[in-house]
Amino acid sequence: MPDNSEGKMIRRPPFLYSLALLAAVAAVLLPFRAPAQAPRSFVITGAEVADGSGVPLYRANVRVQGERIARVGDFTPDAGEAVVDGKGLVLAPGFIDTHNHSDRGLEGDRLAESQISQGLTTLLLGQDGGSPWPIGEWLEKFRSEPPALNILMLVGHATVRRKVMGDDFRRAARPEEVAQMAQLVEQGMREGAVGLSSGLEYEVGSYSTTDEVVALSRVAGRYGGFYISHIRDEADRSFEAMRELLQIGREAGLPVQNTHIKIATAGVWNRAGEVAAMYDAARHAGQDVTADCYPYDAWHSNFKVLVPNKQYEDPASVAKAIADIGGPQNLLISTFQPHPEYEDRTLEEVAKAKGMTPTELLMEIIREGDGSVIGKGMMEADIRTFYAQPWVMVSSDGGIGTKHPRGAGTFPRVLGRLVREWHWLTLPEAVRRMTSLPAWRLKLMDRGLVREGMAADLVLFNPQTVIDRSTYREPEKLSEGIEKVYVSGVLVWDHDHATGARPGRVLAK
Ligand SMILES: [Zn+2]
């Protein structure tokens, strides 16, 4: 009827108008409303919590809501809420590795299985003086295509030194060159680096003076960063190198870390107690100095690294190299293509069988084509002494694709062997060295503890079975006993496989 149709026509505009108004109001309100909606949550029940602080294990339920830990305590999950049964397992904060070499590996392997399978949720990259460049650009790639776990980056001292000096780096830098390097350190820090790394024992870094490193560290310190160093010598002159580290910290006024702390030649073995006393004295005097340590007493490399002065044909140099590692019984031949029959035997055994001296044999091996060797360079007692220091954290000095078992095994090895089998550390204390201690060093204020409000980077592991499986022969074999790993509340590792999720963040400042 005309009236009705007319009426409809009259009513239509206000109806449409109110719809548009509703849509407009909703458009304004919705963005504000979304966070108020409770994010997806689940509760891990019945686990023993090693909360990262070092206190004894306690039983608690832990609710994860979105990216955060929402509740820790004795409560019942809500009706319909997802539950993860943690009975018989330990729940800890995700592990943080302050010396990791996955920079390159992550580019082609965002899932980082060999890392997350150890319970790792955060890696500090750019170690030993080498970092990608420019740092901002590199980090951006990982923001747009995130990895499974979180990463942080350091400015590499050798990297900026090469940028400024090119191939002419085998000398002390001139003042204007140091000034240019300082500008690059500043650029790196502005682009998100959290500190300066050096490898003063390596080719490029070894030519730098202490003053150069102090000048660059000062810049890193100004941006709230710290200095982490593979120090100038880990052999006979270790103590000198450690004193230099302390000097750099004092003069540049920033925290310092002696990374992969070790005393690696016979001349300094059994002196870890003296090292600890020296660092303790500095700490008591108010200096912020820490260290990190990997739980292995041997390195895996080529024969040539044994002879640092590169005099492979000089019997005295080669003999000194063998003496430095404590004798030919401490060198296990891993691979040697010209004579596969040498493999898995020590230099001492093969030399005896051939009626040669170990020095003659080592010279012959290097002449015939090198190969790989496992050198037992550290005393177990020294490593134990380092781990007894409350300021020593666990680190791997490994990463994706590392040809040393530490790359895939470090963190489960500490839990399975150092804690469960050898009783060097209690479980809560070992977890503290993997979580809150490195988080504090890196100023990650919302990680490293199982506490309400913290990021939900979490590891569930079986304390009875957790163990490393990587060996010198099979360095990439994955660890066992890490049951579930969460990064920002997202499951990335489930018992024996990566889930494929990539919630990792660039944790730059
Ligand atoms: Zn190193």
126 CA from centroid of ligand 1 (Å): 11
Candidates 377, 203, 349, 371; CA nearest to 303 is 371
The reported pLDDT for the residue numbered 371 is 86
The reported pLDDT for the residue numbered 26 is 53
500 CA from centroid of ligand 1 (Å): 31
127 CA from centroid of ligand 1 (Å): 7
Q: How confident is the model at residue 509 (pLDDT cuts 50, 70, 90)?
A: low
> What tokens were used for 25?
């109001």
Candidates 164, 166, 97; CA nearest to 126 is 97
260 CA from centroid of ligand 1 (Å): 7
In tens, the pLDDT along 377-388 reads 999 999 999 999
Identify which has the larger pLDDT, 21 or 372. Answer: 372
Q: What is the mean pLDDT of the chain?
A: 93
Question: Cα–Cα distance between 184 and 182 in angstroms, integer?
Answer: 5
Identify which has the larger pLDDT, 436 or 371. Answer: 436
Q: How confident is the model at residue 2 (pLDDT cuts 50, 70, 90)?
A: very low
What is the average pLDDT across 207-212?
A: 98
Query: What b-and-e string marks burial along 368-402, b requiring 16 or more CB atoms within 10 Å of the CB?
Result: eebbbbbbbbbbeebbebbbebebbbbbbbbbbbb
257 CA from centroid of ligand 1 (Å): 12
59 CA from centroid of ligand 1 (Å): 39
Question: Cα–Cα distance between 391 and 170 in angstroms, integer?
Answer: 35
429 CA from centroid of ligand 1 (Å): 25
Question: Cα–Cα distance between 95 and 482 in angstroms, integer?
Answer: 11
128 CA from centroid of ligand 1 (Å): 5
Question: Cα–Cα distance between 289 and 246 in angstroms, integer?
Answer: 8
What is the average pLDDT across 231-246?
A: 95
248 CA from centroid of ligand 1 (Å): 18
The reported pLDDT for the residue numbered 40 is 87
> What tokens were used for 47?
């686990």
Judge whether residue 3 has pLDDT over 50.
no
123 CA from centroid of ligand 1 (Å): 15
In tens, the pLDDT along 392-413 reads 999 999 999 998 999 999 999 9
77 CA from centroid of ligand 1 (Å): 46
- For residue 193, give Cα distances in angstroms to 1, 190, 336, 440: 75, 7, 41, 16
Query: Quick one: angle between helices 238-252 and 272-284, nearest 10?
Result: 10
397 CA from centroid of ligand 1 (Å): 7
472 CA from centroid of ligand 1 (Å): 18
In tens, the pLDDT along 126-158 reads 999 999 999 999 999 999 999 999 999 999 999
71 CA from centroid of ligand 1 (Å): 40
Q: How confident is the model at residue 188 (pLDDT cuts 50, 70, 90)?
A: very high
129 CA from centroid of ligand 1 (Å): 9
β-bridge partners, 458: 93, 486
What is the average pLDDT across 249-272?
A: 96
The reported pLDDT for the residue numbered 25 is 52
β-bridge partners, 447: none
296 CA from centroid of ligand 1 (Å): 14
Please state, for a pLDDT cut of 70, what percent of the chain lies above it: 92
Candidates 236, 156, 141, 244; CA nearest to 196 is 156
The reported pLDDT for the residue numbered 6 is 38
Q: Nearest 5°: CA angle at 211, between 208 and 216?
A: 85
230 CA from centroid of ligand 1 (Å): 5
Q: How confident is the model at residue 34 (pLDDT cuts 50, 70, 90)?
A: very low
301 CA from centroid of ligand 1 (Å): 13
411 CA from centroid of ligand 1 (Å): 18
Q: What is the side-by-side strand order in the sheet with 150-153?
A: 95-97, 120-125, 150-153
DSSP assignment string, 35-88: GGSPP-EEEEEEEEE--SSSPPPEEEEEEEETTEEEEEES-PPPTT-EEEE-TT
In tens, the pLDDT along 46-83 reads 999 999 999 999 999 999 999 999 999 999 999 999 99
| pTM for the full predicted model | 0.90
26 CA from centroid of ligand 1 (Å): 56
Cis peptide bond prior to 175, omega within 30° of 0: no
233 CA from centroid of ligand 1 (Å): 11
165 CA from centroid of ligand 1 (Å): 22
Q: How confident is the model at residue 4 (pLDDT cuts 50, 70, 90)?
A: very low
In tens, the pLDDT along 87-100 reads 999 999 999 999 99
85 CA from centroid of ligand 1 (Å): 40
